Structure 1
Amino acid sequence: MTTPVAPAAPAPSYAADAVRQLKGLSRAELAMFARSRMNLFNVLVVPAMIICGMLATVTQFSINEETGRSLGQMMVSTSLAVVLILVVYSPLTAVYVVRREEAVLKRLRTGEVTDPIILIGCAIPYLAVAVAQFAVIAVALSIISTGAPGLPHLAVLALLLSMPICIGLAAFSSVACRTSEAAQGVAMLGLLVLLLTSGAAVPLELFPDPAAAVLRFFPLTPAVDLANSAWTGEGGSVGSVLVKCATLLAWSAITAAATRRVFRWDPRE
């Protein structure tokens, strides 16, 4: 009489392991994020202050009249870029530097956690705040000024497809920094470049046509364009949307490849 063999326990899937690891990393990062008053101020208050300053500038110089878009429509797309840069890119640059210099990243790599999971896990609290902030701003502007977007899925695409770019840019920028203070300076330079080239601070309609055509292929410009299209309907054709999404995906691949090649995991001596 043969002894029945107990069925083997199913091997844990890679996806389940990744989700479990992301939960653990993001929970730890969220705890550290919540303990820092400076982080809370920079992520929750500074973006609102900058958006209000841009609102005053647009009103004073009547930029909305030159672009053909309403004030609310302009501010929605501008807010998207500001939130992505100030809530995701800038603080993540400092986070990667600090975690590297504290040897946290090095210790995590000695375990079973993969490199992408480590970088994404550190970013999840900031991504969640960015989604919540942009949602609040978009809803508020829709009620006060613009009305509901005709193509809301384009705004969702703009937000989701640009987040990997911001993570990659933050990881890439951290390579040049030895301290958190240096990271703040590098992030400030990146903030200025991204704002000026994305059409958020200066609408592309105000640039000469050749310059505007080139800037449309910069990292965050397609996201700003998609957010514009969500409320205005302009540039919302299938072909135009596919080009913008392809550009965002291409930048995600470029920043991921650059990060994989140059990112430093060990503390700098």
Structure 2
Amino acid sequence: MNSLAMQHMKTLFGIEWKLFNRIKSNYIFVVLLPVMLLMAMQFVQEQMKLDEHGLDAGPLMVSTACGILLIFSLYSSVTGLYVARREELVLKRLRTGEVSDPVILAGGASMYIAVCVVQIVAVSALLSLMFGAVPQQPLAALGGLVTGILLMTAMAAATAALCRTVESVLVATLPAVFVLPMISGIYIPREVLPQALGDALMFAPLSPTVDLMRSGWTGELALGAGLARGILAIAWTALFAWIAMRRFRWEPRT
């Protein structure tokens, strides 16, 4: 990315930050969601018999929390952002200048990406302290975070293509919000499912990210397995990016 693109990214980040900062209630969501997650993780740990399945609660809670934050803080927010800016003709005006399409989308999402990263780092650190978990493969966790961000941003752009208005965002994101956590090992660890089903769900879109994040604390993935999970995540990202490039609308439907 050249210096001009970086400048455009910085400018778009600043604009979105100012708009976000104008509505102080946004900070309630930023703080409240991680707090609710921490409380929920503690409750889940007390209710689920993870030891019977050979699962370490700490790494599992970290990967679960990270997956939830990627979906709710990043995917849902960025989908709504793209549709809102399209309806406001912001995207159309930006395209008349020298800003490239990928920079417009990445720059618009950059503020929410930053918020999501801060939330994930804070929650992961607190859960590690709560459960006495120590990261074993920091690079795997970093790989999971990066692939998750890329995947959720690409998926948000693809989903925004389906939305006619801001009001339709809630309906369009429902499948990912409800189904994705169920099939990606976020709500239900694959180890507690029948083996055939668990093996099949390894190929779900967000499963590689969850696996890499958990391996960051358990060290369970060897180098080859970690690379394979990363490649699968990139493949899903490329698919959603391709859909977005073909279907994304830059101005309101008439």
TM-score, normalised via structure 1 length = 0.89
Task: Please name the residue that 2:202 is paired with.
Answer: 216
Q: Could you list the per-position Cα deviations for residues 146-181 of structure 1 after superposition, in whole angstroms to 9, with x for gaps in the alignment?
A: 332111111111001121110111111112222323
Does the Cα contact within 8 Å between 2:209 and 2:233 map onto a contact in 1? yes
Question: Which segment drifts farther, 36-45 or 252-261?
Answer: 36-45
Does the Cα contact within 8 Å between 1:73 and 1:146 map onto a contact in 2? no
Does the Cα contact within 8 Å between 1:101 and 1:266 map onto a contact in 2? yes
Distance 1:51 1:213 in 2: 29
Identity of aligned residues (%): 37
Pick the aligned partner of 2:14 from 16, 24, 27.
Answer: 27
Distance 2:149 2:86 in 1: 21
Pick the aligned partner of 1:262 from 247, 250, 253.
Answer: 247
Does the Cα contact within 8 Å between 1:152 and 1:231 map onto a contact in 2? yes
- CA drift of 1:54 comes to 4.6
Is 2:122 aligned against 1:136? yes
Is 2:210 aligned against 1:243? no
Task: Please name the residue that 1:152 is paired with.
Answer: 138
Is 2:2 aligned against 1:15? yes
Does the Cα contact within 8 Å between 2:83 and 2:160 map onto a contact in 1? yes
Task: Please name the residue that 1:45 is paired with.
Answer: 32
Counterpart of 2:87, as a letter, is: E
| Bigger Rg over Cα | 1
Runs of 4+ in 1 over 3 A off after TM superposition: 37-44
Distance 1:147 1:160 in 2: 21
Unaligned runs of 5+ in 2: none
Counterpart of 1:20, as a letter, is: Q
Distance 1:267 1:166 in 2: 23
Task: Please name the residue that 2:111 is paired with.
Answer: 125
Pick the aligned partner of 1:192 from 178, 181, 186.
Answer: 178
Provide closer, same or farther for how the CA distance between residues 182 and 55 of structure 1 changes in structure 2, counting only shifts above 3 A. farther
Task: Please name the residue that 1:226 is paired with.
Answer: 212
Q: Aligned to 1:45, what secondary structure does the other structure show?
A: helix
Distance 1:154 1:97 in 2: 33
Provide closer, same or farther for how the CA distance between residues 137 and 47 of structure 1 changes in structure 2, counting only shifts above 3 A. closer
Aligned positions, number: 254
Pick the aligned partner of 2:79 from 76, 79, 93.
Answer: 93
Does the Cα contact within 8 Å between 1:105 and 1:266 map onto a contact in 2? yes
Distance 1:155 1:198 in 2: 16
Counterpart of 1:222, as a letter, is: P
